[in-house]
Chains A and B, each alone.
Chain A
Amino acid sequence: MEKQTFLTFLLGREYFAVNVAKVLEVLERQHITTIPQAPEQILGIINFRGDILPVVDTRLKFNLPSQNSEDKNFVIVYDISTEGNKFVIAATADSVKDVIEIADSEIKPVPEMGISYNTRYIIGAVRRDNSFIMLLDIEKIFSLSDKENIQTLAVDETQIA
């Protein structure tokens, strides 16, 4: 039985999970430098190991009101580079919970109706301790909605002297 490891986090009252293979690091209480006149869903930038990364407000992706406060935020740094295309990005979470193993057979499809946010980001759902955990397709989150941003979000390391 194929098992994959996921990192779970909380957004509002909903549990989400992302494949740990895509997660570089979880940062706590980060100071996010705001950028004047930046797109709404970009909270600002952080200094991640000397690189400047944009931080996406994940709450906005799921129709939740933005709730950024410096003393309790979590930032998850994702590496979703494809071959030849380095793509590192940070996104917020209300709190980071656990690392769990999920067997492929446990993953159930999600109905398209009755959910308050767009299901195209969701691979499927898993039931744990009487609640559902939504498995996120992290590549889609950072590409589908802002088609324009896909290529442009990539960290261009060659320019850094």
Chain B
Amino acid sequence: MDISHLKQKFIDEANDLLSGLDNDLLELEKQPASKQHIDQVFRTMHTIKGASGMYGLGKIMEITHELETLYDLVRDQKLQVTKDLIDLTFSTADHIRNLLIDQDLKNDENTQNHSLILKAIAVFHKNAGISIPTTKTKESIKESTGIETWQILLYPDESIIFRGINLSFIISDLHLLGKCIIHSNCEEEKIAFWSIFIVTDKGRNAIDDVLMFISDYCKINKIADFDIFDEKELTKRNKEDQDREANFLLTPAIKKSTSNETNTTVTSPECITIKKNKIHTSTRINVDASKLDTLMYLVTELVTTKSELLLSIQKQSATKIVETAEKIDKLSKLFSENALNIRLVSLQEMLLKYQRLIRDLSNKLGKKVNFSIKGEDTELDKNMVDVIAEPIMHLIRNCIDHGLEIPEKRKESGKSETGTIIFNAYESGNNVYIQIGDDGVGIDTDYVYTKAVEQNFIQPGTQLDEKGIFDLIFLPGFSTAQSLTDISGRGVGMDIVRKKIHEIRGEVIVESTRGKGTIFTLKLQQTISIIDTLLIVSDQSTFAIPIEDVESCDLEEHGVLFRQQSNLIDFKGELIPFVYLRDKFTSNSPAPDKEKLIIINKQGKKYAIVADEIIGQHQAVIKPLNKTFQNIDFLSGASILGDGSITLLLNTDKLKDLLITSY
């Protein structure tokens, strides 16, 4: 069997475990005496240690072993949880993440870190007054009667993956039985089998219990009535001895009950992990089981409806066919709803990363920060979450670095020393709003204005309202920072934040009050692939406009529109510019006498699109336009209509820009 599958699974799991560890450490920092969190850290180290040994990741095993020993001391109350210890554990976690990529310490930096961390751990050991144990495994073996040495030969094959058996948990459970030594036997770079030696006094039954689910792959032999490693009598082993195979009935119920205990760190029991791609972690999403149940129900419905349809075609019963067609129509809607639902993930996972970021940043900058989170259960399309992760991280960085003041200054201005960073997510209509904010200094509009003039972004004397000034911070290359820090202030960032959010048809709204703080609101669509649109026709082409951008529709005589060259119309007493779609094509057919106006309202700015006809509403499944057309930015995609023809989705933002440049 190819070890890389299992190894990749381990790496995925280890990364999950490490994220969990970050969370536990943050909690532990708040309540240093929490037994629960200490145990959790200990268990995480233990699990990683066990599994890394199995895959030959010696360096990870070494370091987790040392740390595990430290936390064991903590558990025995021989060592206190201090900030230093938590810092060390954080850096170890980061180091393990690096080791997972650079397994053989090819990178010099990693090698250095490795020895540094080992040294730091040794210092803690010293302080606790205990020398580092030299044996590889920490379980003490009771020198009592009944100690036996067992050999387990484990022959994994592909099916072990598909059965969802988690080898690393089994290995860590084996470690709990007693001294455990694992050899992997490779043939042609693939692992043929593992031989595991266990020295335990718990007897055969205990081993059988642990191996219950992989008993099909195992051969268990008793090789001695004593600890062979003590006597260094390794040569005594005989692989082909006494084949005894245990057979256990595998039922999912039993599986669940035993795995629950160790499973808590990775996934809650009602969540199922869907693996789309074995290589990369970010392509895996956790799906609520109820959503999958709905999918299963829909599939069964579809299968019955299909046979119904076939039957009615056979009988040539027209009414029946129409009826089934309606049913299929309904089913397809439910299917698309369900599919979109499955893609939705909660923001919780991404928040972990931010908590860590805030902790590190506040330490570094000497600011006290309280991270207040609301609405972390809000769900968003997986793709969207991936896109917004980086912009949000940037906004948080900005809030801490530029927004929050240092504790002394906060005290002076009568605020509490601890600043607050808010993360607030909520749904409203079809949109999801995410707010990132701080209660710091707020944006200094005068300062931004002067800086913008200095950096030649605007002409001196330009009249700008508050909103206009806030818009300046999104200009590429614009920076207000007096000094460059490695956190922010290089003038790249805010423009990228806005660009990324625009890419997923979202908006960034800034609100800021001097001395009170700043709030960035991201207005996002929950899913990016299906939107409600208004269909219009210009000459021979149909276009779709996102319906939420449309304010109203009107009609006007062609002659009136083009009486002057100003391309302005009078809409309810307001002069607004218009875009004439026919201009974009070299169309020859004569324009109709009466043209249709679609009034677009985009962030308070109004303009009109002039078209021949308005067809009506269309729920558009957006397909990306080929990148050949990426320069044509006023089109943001295409959608296929019921008759198979294609309609182009207009990007109302860029269309507006087109108006400005044409003047």
Contact = CB atoms under 8 A, between A and B. Distances in A.
A53 B529 CA distance: 18
Interface stretch (A5-13, A120-128, A148-156): A148-156
B629 A54 contact: yes
Contact of B629 (A38, A51, A156): A38
Given A47-B645, A47-B646, A35 B629 contact: yes
A45 B646 contact: yes
Of A33, A160, A161, which is in contact with the most chain B CB atoms at under 10 Å from its CB? A161
Contacts of A54: 626, 628-629
Contacts, number: 77
Interface string A32-54: 01111111001001110011111
A42 B625 contact: no
Interface residues of B, number: 30
B626 A37 contact: no
A159 interface: yes
Contacts of B623: 51-52, 159-160
A77 B585 CA distance: 26
B177 interface: no
B468 interface: no
Nearest to A161: B529
A151 B627 CA distance: 9
Nearest to B626: A54
A108 interface: no
Interface string B522-551: 000001111000000000110000000000
Interface string B441-471: 0000000000000000000000000000000
Nearest to B632: A37
A45 B638 contact: yes
Interface string A130-161: 00000000000000000001011111100111
Interface centre among A35, A155, A160 (most CB of B within 10 A): A35
A26 B623 CA distance: 23
A29 interface: no
Interface in A49-91: 50-54
B236 interface: no
A156 B646 contact: no
Contacts of A3: none
Nearest to A160: B623
A42 B626 CA distance: 11
Contact of A153 (B528, B540, B626): B626
A45 B645 CA distance: 10
Contacts of A51: 623
Given A36-B585, A37-B584, A47 B628 contact: no
B635 interface: yes
B642 to A, nearest CB: 12
A31 interface: yes
Nearest to B583: A36
Given A33-B645, A37-B584, A160 B624 contact: yes
B646 A161 contact: no
A36 B340 CA distance: 32
A38 B634 CA distance: 12
Interface in B630-656: 630-632, 635, 638, 640, 644-646, 648
Contacts of A154: 627
A160 B340 CA distance: 12
A27 B648 CA distance: 22
B628 A153 contact: yes
Interface string B315-356: 000000000000000000000000110010000000000000
Interface in B579-637: 584-585, 621-632, 635
A149 B529 contact: no
A153 B528 CA distance: 22
Contacts of A42: 628-629
A104 to B, nearest CB: 34
Contacts of B529: 160-161
B563 to A, nearest CB: 25
Nearest to A156: B624
Contacts of A38: 628-629, 632
Contacts of A152: 626-628, 630
Contacts of B621: 161
A36 B628 contact: no
Contacts of B638: 33, 45, 52
B628 A50 contact: no
B648 A33 contact: yes
A47 B343 CA distance: 25
A47 B648 contact: no
Interface string B567-584: 000000000000000001
A149 B343 CA distance: 31
B302 to A, nearest CB: 18
B468 to A, nearest CB: 30
B63 to A, nearest CB: 36
Contact of B635 (A35, A46, A155): A35
A37 B583 CA distance: 11
B626 A45 contact: yes
Contacts of A160: 529, 623-624
Contacts of A161: 339-340, 343, 527-530, 621-622
B196 to A, nearest CB: 38
Contacts of A50: 640
Contacts of B540: 34
B503 to A, nearest CB: 12
9 contacts: A33-B648, A34-B540, A37-B584, A38-B628, A51-B623, A54-B626, A152-B626, A160-B529, A161-B621
Of all A-B residue pairs in the complex, the 5 with the closest CB atoms, nearest first, are A161-B529, A152-B627, A36-B584, A33-B646, A159-B624
Interface of A: 31, 33-39, 42, 45-47, 50-54, 149, 151-156, 159-161
